[in-house]
């Protein structure tokens, strides 16, 4: 969250929330959906931790995930409003 707030535009977060909020709901019901997302989230998180100085080594897979997915989120965010991710915890 710290990295997003400091380094990514709000439109990118909006685009991410557009697909991620429904996907989190899907993962709660589907172990397969969770297994598919885990490596993407893991490697992206490791790369961001490296960029922030928390890890000494980055992740090539994380760099690739970011290079592909972040522009998609930015593009989607240009056409959507802000989504409140906190709603995921209301009916968890």
The span from the CA of 64 to the CA of 69, in Å, is: 8
**pLDDT at residue 25 greater than cutoff 90:** yes
Q: Following CA atoms 58, 64, 66, 68 in sequence, which dihedral angle do they give, to the nearest 10 degrees?
A: 170
Higher pLDDT pick, 17 / 1: 17
pLDDT of residue 89: 67
Question: What is the model's pTM?
Answer: 0.81
Over the stretch 27-48, which tens digit does the pLDDT of each residue have?
A: 999 999 999 999 999 999 999 9
pLDDT of residue 4: 79
Percent of the chain with pLDDT over 70: 91
Task: Delimit the domains of the chain by residue range.
Answer: 30-79
């Amino acid at each position: 969250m710290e990295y997003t707030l400091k380094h990514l535009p709000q439109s990118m977060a909006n685009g991410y929330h557009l697909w991620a909020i429904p996907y989190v709901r899907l993962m709660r019901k589907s172990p397969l959906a969770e297994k598919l997302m885990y490596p993407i989230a893991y490697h992206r998180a490791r790369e961001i931790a490296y960029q922030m100085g928390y890890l000494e080594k980055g992740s090539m897979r994380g760099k690739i995930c970011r290079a592909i997915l972040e522009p998609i989120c930015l593009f989607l965010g240009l056409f959507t409003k802000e989504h409140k991710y906190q709603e995921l915890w209301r009916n968890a």
